[in-house]
Amino acid sequence: MMEKSLARYIWSNTYKQQVWILLVVAASMVPYFLAFDLPKRIVNGPIQGQGFEEPDTTQRFMAIAFDMPFLGHVELFEGFPLGRVGTLMALSTVFLGLVVLNGLFKFYINTYKGRLGERMLRRIRFSLVDRVLRFPPVHFKRVKSAEIATMIKDEVEPLGGFTGDAFVQPALLGGQALTALGFIILQNFWLGMIAASIVALQALIIPRMRKRLLELGRQRQLTARQLSGRVSEIVDGIHTIRGHDASNLERADIADRLGTIFFIRYDLYQWKFMVKFINNFLAQVTPFLFYAIGGYLALQGRLDIGQLIAVISAYKDLPGPLKELIDWDQARQDVQVKYAQVVEQFDVDTLVGPHIQTLVTTPVEKLSDALVVSNLVLTDDSGAPLLNRLSLEIAPDTTVAIVGRSNSGAEALAEAFGRILWPTSGHITIGGTDLLELPESVTGRRISFVSSETYFFHATLRDNLLYGLKHAPLKTMEYGGQNQRKVKRNLMEAQRSGNPALDLNSDWIDYTSAGASGPDDLLKVIRPVLDAVMISQDIFDLALRSQVDVSAHHALANRIVEIRQAMRRRLQDADLEEIVAPFEAHAYNLQATVGENLLFGTMRQGMTGQALAAHRYFRKVMGETGVSAQLYAMGLAIAENAVELFRDLPPDHPFFRQLTFMSADDIPAYEALLQKLQNTPFEEASATDRTSIIRLSFSYVEPRHRFGLLTQELMAQIVKAREAFYADIPADLAERIERHDAEQFTASVSLMDNVLFGRLSFQEVDTTERIRQTIRDLFEELGLADHVLSIGLDFDVGSQGRRLNTVQRQKLNLARALLKRSDYFIFNRPLSALDQRAQDRIVTNILKDLHEEGHRPAIIWVLPNAQISELFDRILVFENGNLAESGSFEELSGKNGMFNQLLS
């Protein structure tokens, strides 16, 4: 249970610090009041001359002496004798010292309170996330992730700021207010009583008015939280929204919510300032009563005028602390409401116990007992029965197929094995221990559950694949020098906020449980698993399409020359060499665009074609070599052709897709431009016109566009311009352009382009697939397949793994579990997105592979079709939540029962 009262929560976690800070505040009062008293002494003493009546009088400075009962006068230090100016300087210096001391106290108190608050915030945020990690499965069906995130991020934020003031502020302000009140009462009892009763009135009325304020605050918090929940629903459900043309329904909903929030907030403002107004009014009533009643009494001679003035001047110290106290109280209630609202959401009765998730760094023993199901009853969220009183036993090394139509209870049983569905009654036990009582260090390592639902974190494919091996930090990291101190500090701080001291930088991967000995041979165990789920090719293709991090994969990058040569040989052997037009430093590449031929390289990140075209050096080279004029003529011809071809076509005509160098909207503009530039030689055309014409020539590829514009001379000229461009290239361009170099790996293009080192000719049917196959064989031959796989594993899978398709996600989800080498594998239709044949092949692969290795895990597989169940030792047939049949394939297929129906 979480502490419901914020004050108690803060006190129980920080009472030591609160007491300390109270003591410091009390100590800080001493120089504070001394500094108050000092100006009077300076003015009265050295400036006005009190005690310095004679020109050469001296006074003793800093004498420490006091009168004590029984002992009489005690003098500890007789002080320095100082003259008038000396005393002035000495007292002023003391004043300066007190100012500095006060400042330092303030500085210390504020940073201390700030740190206290931040620690508190860290503690509460952590404990909330900790609770999320322990929510029971059913709770996740009711909460929205964005709402939880808002609570943890935003709603508890003010708690941090309040923590430091929680006890110090009321003590301090309350003390000040009481002192002021006591002082007034001392001056005049009845006037004091008047002041006290007004304060009591304030204390009575204001909190009542606040009730409405608090209610509004609560509503504001709830509506804001729901808003963020809805926004995340819009993001997650965007395809559903657009697919049903419901975007305007969402607009209406959001507008409505914002309206509600607006009125709540507006109401809040009105009340807040209303309360302020009444508060101020009451505060001002007191002096009015002093003036009116006190004055009347004084006039009648019943009150001493001196007393009245003393009361009024004493009163000026009361409203300040009182107002701050009221503000503090408002903040307290506000934060208390926020806290209570959050706690309510996180206070879940059936939270998973902390002992279930304790950190275990040692290897977990193999499960050698049978999985025993006894009287198991499962129901869904609404209470509908899914499985009726099932009892069975599954031995630790058998393979069990579960078949049945959907909703037959087969999936429900698998989910119960996976602890996603908790039993309504009955138990699942292993070696006498309830599955729900087993720590996750056992169930998460020795048992693997995979369903068709996948989840991937926004990280690389590798991180996601190895996620199932990261149970605990397995290596104690050695930090040196500066880092060591930093790490130590981080650890200490974590403990102060009740956070665990787990080192994120440690190696969390449990290599042994994957059957590897360390990072070096991990790929050796990953590969067969990826092959088994038939995703190796996809990952290989991902690698081919991605840019390679040269520093991480230098072994491959260093062999690029060899790879390219081998590739060329292979293409020659397969009589495919004309498919790739290689880049040659002194030749025109017909399959590449004119622009690519000019640049003969790739632009690094941050560089654009426009930036290059605008660069002085580039323009100079283009002009001097005469290429500009030539490309201008070419651009004009392209524009003419394009306008002639496309003039009469409606803008949405599919033919426009082939027109790569302009869009349908550009046609009229170019038509007008052609008219304007008729008979205008290159020299006379304006710079903008030139640019828009030359631009066209850059994307021209002769074999593709076939306008017959590229002559041998022009090609030679372009190559010459390219050479001139690189001959004298300034440093700022050189570092932003990666020139094609047959000897070097090009970091800014994909691995495929690196291997090809040329342009693919698309003129032949089926080229891409043949090339891919060739490259695949090539890497295998060169022994670089693992490197390529590793590059593929660097792929960033995107938010929730959405950059992968559903089939890939389901395959990887399965692979992630297979890597763990558990004792029990529970597969709940894990490959539902795949077609039947592919599913059957993967089932076969896995059954074969898992049992070939020697250790025989139990496999419990909810199968999509009955045929493939022949491969399993035992078959369970479910119907309407009951176990209808059980036995081997031969036994069941011989009978005329449910299984035979499913088979046909």
Partner 1 sequence: MLLKDEVDMLRRVPLFSQIAPAKLKLLAFASERMTCREGQNLFRQGDIGDAAYVILSGTADVLVQSEAGEIRVAEVDKNSIVGEIAILCDTARTATVRASSRLEVLKISKENFLELMSDFPDMAVEIMRVLANRLNHTTNELTEARSHQQRVPT
Nearer to partner 1, 574 or 734 (CB): 574
Nearer to partner 1, 735 or 764 (CB): 764
Nearer to partner 1, 10 or 642 (CB): 642
User: For strand 874-879 and strand 399-403, is the pairing parallel, antiparallel, or unpaired?
Assistant: parallel
> In angstroms, what is the minimal distance from the CB of 258 to partner 1?
43
Give the sign of the dihedral formed by CA 736, CA 741, CA 747, CA 752: positive
DSSP secondary structure letter of residue 60: E
Nearer to partner 1, 682 or 707 (CB): 707
Q: What is the largest CA-CA distance in the chain?
A: 130
Q: Name the burial class of residue 546, with classes exposed (0-12), middle (13-18) and buried (19+) by CB atoms within 10 angstroms of its CB.
A: middle
What is the distance between the alpha carbons of residues 305 and 684, in angstroms, rounded to a whole number?
A: 99
What is the distance between the alpha carbons of residues 62 and 81, in angstroms, rounded to a whole number?
A: 9
Tell me the sheet residues that pair with 755.
none
Nearer to partner 1, 93 or 763 (CB): 763
Distances (CA, A) of 361 to 51, 136, 525: 79, 25, 22
Nearest CA to 794 among 756, 750, 754? 750
> Taking the CA of residue 858 as centre, how many other CA atoms within 13 Å lie in the half-sphere pointing to its CB?
22
> Which residue is listed with tokens 């048992």?
447
> In angstroms, what is the minimal distance from the CB of 674 to partner 1?
17
Element (H, E) at 221: helix 189-236
> In angstroms, what is the minimal distance from the CB of 769 to partner 1?
11
Nearest CA to 127 among 51, 13, 249? 13
Nearer to partner 1, 73 or 657 (CB): 657
> Which residue is listed with tokens 């710079």?
687
Please give the residue ranges that form the binding site for partner 1 (CB under 8 A).
Answer: 644-646, 649, 653-655, 657-658, 703, 705-708, 762-766
Nearer to partner 1, 316 or 647 (CB): 647
Nearer to partner 1, 327 or 640 (CB): 640
What is the distance between the alpha carbons of residues 96 and 90, in angstroms, rounded to a whole number?
A: 10
> In angstroms, what is the minimal distance from the CB of 698 to partner 1?
19
> In angstroms, what is the minimal distance from the CB of 579 to partner 1?
11
Is residue 827 within 8 Å of 450, Cβ to Cβ?
A: yes
DSSP secondary structure letter of residue 623: H
> In angstroms, what is the minimal distance from the CB of 708 to partner 1?
4
Nearer to partner 1, 220 or 705 (CB): 705
> In angstroms, what is the minimal distance from the CB of 765 to partner 1?
4
> In angstroms, what is the minimal distance from the CB of 650 to partner 1?
10
The radius of gyration of the chain from alpha carbons, rounded to an integer in Å, stands at 41
Strand ranges (DSSP E) for 568-645?
Answer: 580-582, 601-603
> In angstroms, what is the minimal distance from the CB of 248 to partner 1?
30
Nearer to partner 1, 727 or 765 (CB): 765
> In angstroms, what is the minimal distance from the CB of 654 to partner 1?
4
Is residue 759 within 8 Å of 581, Cβ to Cβ?
A: yes
Nearer to partner 1, 405 or 653 (CB): 653
DSSP secondary structure letter of residue 318: S
> In angstroms, what is the minimal distance from the CB of 780 to partner 1?
24
Q: Take residue 151 and report the two structure tokens written for it.
A: 């609570």
